[in-house]
């Protein structure tokens, strides 16, 4: 007699559990879709704001605007600053992410590399390797666990409003995220080529750099591009703290109730992300194919 | 081509290997002379790959002695062991190439064992011209010279196998080992490939040890046959002396063992 089994039994239970958790959260928060219907005064503002979406500003809206230059020039400057803040932060994050990612990966601490001839030596080397790896992973988790906005608030208090503190606030959590994902991608790369290089007498460092790293490289590059895109968005948001990125200008226009300018900034950000996506997918294709 | 040096001499006495608590080789006594061409046969799980691993110094014997050109491998430190591995070319069953680099780089990786760190790294990033010339020469002998700058993962299986062979030859080895080279390509190509390896080994004076499933090919190309069964040497004879029943015996017993292992527990 054949035992009947439901193939999706376990996965089905988990999916139901996740849905139930979502429903419970809704109920606990007392979420009500009617909250999205604006009250009397709000309705007017909402109408104005969303009405402006179809007519983004091409010139300064405010009558009090005294700055020289055109509005579109300012949008371009805001975008440019947003991108270079993100690029500087990503540059730092990639360097530290690679270094930390190597040390956090299991393949860096291979048995062949940190394994002695005698049992005592082998055990002590393994113990050292595993504790350094664990410490690195803990450190990476620490970097990641604090969001860039919180780092920005901290640095703003500590160093004041300067460019370096903004870049650092972005770079720290990004280095952590890159390190974690890099280390996982390196460990997931096939063991075949590294094994073959080991078999022909290559040192463990070369086994890692020539046999393993190239295999993981396309995935790592694709992920780095995605994080760059995230960094651009974060860099824009950091403007709300007073750094001269897109968010700064967005906030000014919003406070002056120049909704059409707000929409121009938002569309510019959207356009930037799209351009990024096109660029990264082209590069990715060249890497992979 | 005149052979520049003599091939490797392997000597194993009482060699055994335990992997992850499972005994895979036991009491292996063998002597393989320089320039010999040996076919290693036996059913799956007989220990062919493990034996090649011992010869390549990529695995240390759990007991007994394994000697490469008179040097006991058990006594070697990490560095000396790497130098020993650098002298033995190994063509893996799955080729074990880096797929997303060019053929030239994979071939040049053959010298990673014989060079320092910076030189090794250079072969990936900015190869020396004389290295490229040498790699091209090797690919020419293998009939795929036009693939030098092609990405490795765009090649066919047969071509990839030749790249793996090219990487082994770029090591400038004294021995060439190949694990089931016939299993990974179609039969017509398999015969060509074994013939090619035979020819290369003879020209360069390399000791050749190839594990095979195909007795036809073993008989056609190799003067000596070593049969493994259950981790022991069951047969070691020059090809002419092997009787038909002995072939059959090797595999029949092997199959019986395999069947027994697969029987469900009561």
* pLDDT in the model for residue A257: 84
Quickly state the pLDDT bin for A248 (edges 50, 70, 90). Answer: very high
More confident residue, A64 or B197: B197
Q: How far is Cα A275 from Cα A284, in angstroms, rounded to an integer?
A: 14
Is the pLDDT score of A64 beyond 80?
no
Chain A interface includes B37 (CB < 8 A): no
More confident residue, B189 or A21: A21
Average pLDDT taken over every residue of chain A: 88
Summarised one tens digit per residue, pLDDT across range B43-82 is 888 899 999 999 999 999 999 999 999 999 988 888 899 9
Q: How much of chain B is helix, strand and coil, in % rounded to 5? A: 45, 25, 30
Is the pLDDT score of A252 beyond 70?
yes
Q: How far is Cα B6 from Cα B207, in angstroms, rounded to an integer?
A: 8
DSSP state string for A8-46: THHHHHHHHHHHHHHHHHHHHHT--GGGGS--HHHHHHH
Is the pLDDT score of A63 beyond 60?
no
Q: Of A178, A176, A174, A166, nearest to A240 (Cα)?
A: A166
Summarised one tens digit per residue, pLDDT across range B80-99 is 999 999 999 999 999 999 99
Quickly state the pLDDT bin for A143 (edges 50, 70, 90). Answer: very high
Summarised one tens digit per residue, pLDDT across range B154-170 is 999 899 999 999 999 99
Contact A202 B168 (CB under 8 A): no
Contact A202 B117 (CB under 8 A): no
Q: Of B100, B104, B125, B124, nearest to A222 (Cα)?
A: B100
Q: Which residues of A touch B99 (CB under 8 A)?
A: 193, 215
Quickly state the pLDDT bin for B3 (edges 50, 70, 90). Answer: very low
Q: How far is Cα B138 from Cα B169, in angstroms, rounded to an integer?
A: 7
Average pLDDT taken over every residue of chain B: 88
Contact B85 A200 (CB under 8 A): yes
Q: Of A268, A242, A259, A255, nearest to A75 (Cα)?
A: A268
Please report which helix (H) or strand (E) contains residue B179, including its range: strand B175-179
* pLDDT in the model for residue B263: 37
Contact B113 A201 (CB under 8 A): yes
Mean pLDDT for the stretch of residues A31-49: 80
* pLDDT in the model for residue B265: 38
Interface test with B, best of A202, A208, A286 (most B CBs within 10 A): A202
Q: Which residues of B touch A198 (CB under 8 A)?
A: 58, 85
Ordered structural domains, chain A, with CATH: 72-288 (1.10.3720.10)
Nearest CA in chain B to A118: B77
Question: Which segments of chain B does DSSP mark as H helices, in order?
Answer: 48-55, 78-86, 103-108, 117-125, 129-141, 157-170, 187-204, 215-221, 244-262
* pLDDT in the model for residue A2: 72
The Cα of B61 is separated from the nearest Cα of chain A by a number of Å equal to 13
Residues 6 or more apart whose Cβ sits within 8 Å of residue B74 = B60, B61, B65, B66
Q: What does the buried/exposed string (b/e) look like for A269-278 if buried means 16 or more CB atoms within 10 Å of the residue's CB?
A: beebeeebee
- Residues B43, B250 contacting (CB under 8 angstroms): yes
Chain A interface includes B86 (CB < 8 A): yes
Chain A interface includes B167 (CB < 8 A): yes
Alpha carbon B90 to chain centroid, angstroms: 4
* pLDDT in the model for residue B14: 94
Q: How far is Cα B61 from Cα B231, in angstroms, rounded to an integer?
A: 13
What the block records as the tokens of A23 is 């429903």
Summarised one tens digit per residue, pLDDT across range A173-214 is 999 999 999 999 999 999 999 999 999 999 999 999 999 999
Is the pLDDT score of A122 beyond 90?
no
Contact A200 B92 (CB under 8 A): no
* pLDDT in the model for residue B253: 53
Q: Which residues of B touch A215 (CB under 8 A)?
A: 98-100
The Cα of B116 is separated from the nearest Cα of chain A by a number of Å equal to 9
* pLDDT in the model for residue A123: 86
More confident residue, B144 or A13: B144
Contact B112 A193 (CB under 8 A): no
The Cα of A117 is separated from the nearest Cα of chain B by a number of Å equal to 8
Q: How far is Cα B4 from Cα A15, in angstroms, rounded to an integer?
A: 67
Is the pLDDT score of B244 beyond 80?
no
Q: Which residues of B touch A121 (CB under 8 A)?
A: none
**Three-state secondary structure string covering B185-232:** CCHHHHHHHHHHHHHHHHHHCCEEEEEECCHHHHHHHCCEEEEEECCE
Chain A interface includes B85 (CB < 8 A): yes
Residue percentage of chain B with pLDDT more than 90? 64
Q: The pTM is what?
A: 0.84
Q: How far is Cα A93 from Cα A52, in angstroms, rounded to an integer?
A: 38
Complex ipTM value:
0.89
* pLDDT in the model for residue A6: 65
Q: Which residues of B touch A208 (CB under 8 A)?
A: none
Mean pLDDT for the stretch of residues A10-29: 90
3-state class (DSSP) for residue B63: strand
Q: How far is Cα A170 from Cα B202, in angstroms, rounded to an integer?
A: 62
Cβ-Cβ contacts under 8 Å between A and B: the total is 86
3-state class (DSSP) for residue A147: coil
Q: Shortest CB distance from A210 goes to which of B87, B112, B164?
A: B112
More confident residue, A114 or A70: A70
Listed as own residue / partner, the contacts of B153-159 with beta carbons closer than 8 Å and 24 or more positions apart are: B153/B99, B153/B100, B155/B103, B157/B184, B157/B185, B158/B185, B158/B186, B158/B189, B158/B193
Least confident of A117-126, A239-248, B194-203: A117-126
Quickly state the pLDDT bin for A111 (edges 50, 70, 90). Answer: confident
Mean pLDDT for the stretch of residues B2-22: 84
Interface test with B, best of A118, A207, A210, A213 (most B CBs within 10 A): A210
* pLDDT in the model for residue B255: 52
* pLDDT in the model for residue B38: 96
Quickly state the pLDDT bin for A38 (edges 50, 70, 90). Answer: confident
**CA neighbours closer than 13 Å in the CB half-sphere of residue A140:** 27
* pLDDT in the model for residue A267: 93
* pLDDT in the model for residue B238: 87
- Residues B128, B214 contacting (CB under 8 angstroms): no
Least confident of A63-67, B6-10, B20-24: A63-67
Query: C-alpha angle with apex A241: A235 to A244, nearest 5 degrees?
Result: 60
Q: Are strands B207-212 and B37-41 parallel, antiparallel or unpaired?
A: parallel
Least confident of A73-87, A103-117, B54-68, B252-266: B252-266
What the block records as the tokens of B63 is 């007991």
**Helices A213-238 & A259-288, crossing angle to 10 degrees?**
170
Mean pLDDT for the stretch of residues A132-146: 95
* pLDDT in the model for residue B48: 93
* pLDDT in the model for residue B28: 95
Contact B171 A202 (CB under 8 A): no
């Amino acid at each position: 007699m054949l035992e009947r089994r439901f193939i999706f039994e376990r996965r089905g239970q988990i999916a139901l559990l996740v849905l139930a958790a979502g429903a419970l959260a809704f109920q606990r928060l007392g979420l009500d879709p009617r909250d999205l219907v604006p009250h009397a005064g709000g309705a007017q503002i909402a109408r104005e704001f969303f009405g402006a979406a179809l007519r983004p500003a091409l010139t300064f809206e405010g009558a009090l605007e005294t700055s020289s230059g055109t509005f579109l020039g300012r949008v371009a400057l805001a975008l440019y600053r947003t991108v270079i803040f993100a690029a500087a932060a990503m540059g730092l994050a990639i360097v530290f992410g690679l270094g930390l990612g190597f040390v956090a990966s299991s393949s860096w601490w291979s048995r062949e590399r940190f394994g002695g001839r005698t049992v005592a030596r082998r055990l002590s080397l393994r113990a050292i390797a595993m504790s350094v790896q664990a410490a690195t992973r803990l450190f990476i988790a620490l970097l990641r666990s604090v969001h860039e906005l919180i780092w920005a608030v901290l640095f703003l208090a500590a160093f004041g409003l300067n460019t370096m503190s903004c870049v650092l606030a972005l770079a720290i959590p990004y280095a952590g995220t890159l390190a974690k994902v890099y280390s996982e991608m390196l460990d997931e790369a096939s063991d075949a080529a590294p094994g073959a290089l080991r078999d022909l007498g290559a040192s463990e460092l070369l086994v890692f750099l020539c046999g393993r790293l190239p295999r993981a490289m396309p995935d790592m590059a694709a992920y780095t591009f995605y994080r760059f895109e995230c960094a651009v968005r974060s860099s824009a948001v950091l403007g709300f703290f007073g750094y001269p990125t897109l968010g700064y200008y967005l906030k000014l226009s919003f406070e002056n109730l120049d909704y059409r300018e707000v929409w121009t900034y938002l569309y510019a950000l959207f356009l930037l992300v799209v351009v990024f996506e096109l660029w990264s997918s082209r590069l990715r294709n060249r890497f992979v194919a | 081509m005149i052979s520049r040096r003599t091939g490797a001499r392997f000597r194993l006495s009482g060699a055994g290997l335990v992997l992850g608590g499972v005994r895979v080789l036991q009491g292996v006594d063998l002597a393989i002379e320089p320039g010999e061409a040996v076919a290693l046969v036996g059913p799956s799980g007989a220990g062919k790959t493990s034996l090649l691993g011992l010869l390549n110094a990529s695995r240390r014997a759990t007991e007994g002695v394994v000697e490469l050109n008179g040097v006991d491998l058990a006594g070697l430190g990490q560095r000396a062991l790497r130098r020993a591995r650098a002298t033995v070319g190994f063509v893996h069953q799955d080729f074990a190439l880096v797929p997303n680099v060019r053929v030239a780089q994979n071939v040049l990786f053959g010298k990673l064992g014989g060079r320092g760190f910076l030189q090794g790294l250079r072969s990936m990033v900015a190869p020396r011209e004389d290295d490229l010339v040498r790699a091209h020469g090797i690919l020419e002998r293998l009939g795929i010279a036009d693939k030098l700058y092609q990405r490795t993962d765009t090649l066919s299986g047969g071509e990839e196998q030749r790249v793996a062979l090219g990487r082994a030859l770029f090591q400038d080895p004294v021995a060439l080992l190949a694990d089931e080279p016939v299993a990974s390509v179609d039969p017509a190509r398999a015969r060509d490939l074994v013939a090619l390896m035979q020819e290369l080994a003879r020209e360069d004076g390399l000791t050749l040890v190839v594990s095979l499933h195909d007795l036809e090919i073993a008989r056609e190309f190799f003067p000596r046959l070593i049969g493994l069964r259950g981790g022991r040497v069951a047969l070691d004879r020059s090809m002419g002396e092997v009787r038909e029943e002995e072939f059959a015996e090797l595999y029949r017993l092997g199959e019986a063992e395999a069947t027994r292992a697969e029987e469900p527990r009561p």
